[in-house]
Structure 1
């Protein structure tokens, strides 16, 4: 879903109390938000409740949803804050470290085009994604699977966009290394083009 389509749905919800538009937003964001919450709170039911509560609060204040310029960041930050509140109420008042997050990245599922790719290659890619360091894996998931921009991920995780870029670079290098892909030719070409 494009940013324009999401904003159009936000306006439908805000101005016309459109429940179908709200359901579309819910379906679009739920899985990514749930996986993000589950990585923090470590309890499936609590993660489901937190994400549900965030959407209930949005529905209750639906007249203001059109004022949210970036709904993705707003939702991820809201879920993160609710999760951290839950964690602190449980007696673990320590600041949540991204290295503690055990986010589950989605599996690459072959579509008709992917059927030509050997299943061994897909397994190797999935294995290398799951072996990424936790901090790198959550950044990879938010960027590559949930479609957030580097700037949005930086806002959600309170890190710089440059740090997000570095994590993605590390992830790509590690995945490429596991596939024995040599980026040295690309690096020479890109350095030549940047001159």
Structure 2
């Protein structure tokens, strides 16, 4: 059912496997924030690749291998994160003489991002905005919206997947990558 895009099947899988995936990530990373981020990324990946999930025979095993691989990748990125940030800063410093064009491009990017957020279903949009713009924790959003914490996590995972897909096609590749890396990936 997930492979055919059934959101109820996705929600059932999400609710059933969230805690074990999160616990595994927490055990390996020793960081609640990083573990939650990784668990969200796993479920975002499941939703994005749902059409290929019909061939997965041992779904639980698939999730834990994916989580393990993502954890190792994330830890490697964290180790080289400062180098990446320095590279991005250096790139933008080199672009100073064309910054006027860059500012216009950035304003266009901001407008594209806000339009993409406005296209999200109302509940996903509200949960995403409360999380990313208001800095609210999932538990607080759940209370505010009157739904479970797991439902909020599901809304945010689906919102991130939709935004990534929408923004992947934007001509401002470097700025989009920068925005996704620092905005979508690092906030809980």
Fold similarity call, TM over 0.5? no
- TM-score, normalised by the number of residues in structure 1: 0.39
- TM-score, normalised by the number of residues in structure 2: 0.41
Flag the structure with larger Rg: 1
More helix by share: 2
Higher relative contact order (CA 8 A, sep 6+): 2
